[in-house]
Amino acid sequence: MDKNIMLIGFMGVGKSTVSRALSTKTGMPEVDADAYIVEREGMAITDIFEKYGEDYFRDIETECLRELQEQKGRIISCGGGAVLRDENVEIMKEGGMILLLTAKPETIFQRVRYSKDRPILNGHMNVEYIAELMNKRNPRYTSVADIIIETDDKEIDQIVTEIEQALKK
Ligand code: S3P
């Protein structure tokens, strides 16, 4: 494939897991945008938020998304807030297609409830807050997505198969 597949969706939706499985199945290399940020900055995401604030993190995220588009044919799993900026969506669309993974707030909560690595959810680790933030972000997620895959109650193999079928269309 001469494009990148940009995996997007809410925190805890399973982007990393799907990225790994899709990479194994297709042979396309995978990159985790958040891990790229951590390595480039030499700091954990929570520390970047704590020390410099969200706006600074978002600036770094934009720079990293740009750098990651320099190579093609990869699966790039993006942080849950990456598509909130128009500029980031433009960068993503230039180099690839955007694949949205979705899940219910309850499913997300089960996956992230013990996580300390998500500053956006720190102090708000409950289904209500997740649902509220998801409702705010959903119109954005769905409007920028080229492909949407629901993940609730599905095995990873099924998700990967659905993605492969959608990519063929
Ligand atoms: C964020 C999601 C995180 C990370 C940062 C902000 C968000 O990535 O980029 O904590 O605003 O949704 P994951 O979606 O991989 O958890």
For the CA of 78, the nearest atom of ligand 1: 15
Q: Label residue 95 by pLDDT band (50, 70, 90).
A: confident
Average pLDDT of the chain, as a whole number: 97
pTM: 0.97
- Structure confidence by residue, pLDDT tens digits, 106-131: 999 999 999 999 999 999 999 999 99
Residue 169 reports pLDDT greater than 90: no
Would you tell me how many other CB atoms lie within 10 Å of the CB of residue 28?
A: 15
How many Cβ atoms from other residues are within 10 Å of residue 135's Cβ?
Answer: 10
- How far is the C-alpha of 43 from the C-alpha of 163, rounded, in Å? 33
Whole-number pLDDT of residue 110: 96
* C-alpha of residue 54 to centroid of ligand 1, in Å: 11
Q: How far is the CA of 94 from the centre of ligand 1 (A)?
A: 22
- The pLDDT confidence band at residue 1, using thresholds 50, 70 and 90, is confident
* 32 Cβ closer than 6 Å to some ligand 1 atom: no
45 lines ligand 1 (CB under 6 A): yes
pLDDT at 2: 86
Determine the Cα–Cα distance for residues 134 and 146; give it in Å rounded to an integer: 19
Q: Which atom of ligand 1 is nearest to the CA of 115?
A: 16
Q: How many CA atoms lie within 13 A of 27 on its CB side?
A: 1
pLDDT digits (tens, 9 = 90+) for 23-55: 999 999 999 999 999 999 999 999 999 999 999
Give yes or no for residue 74 having a pLDDT over 90: yes
Please give the number of the atom of ligand 1 that sits closest to the Cα of 118.
10
Count the neighbouring beta carbons within 10 Å of the beta carbon of residue 103. 21
Three-class SS of residue 154? coil
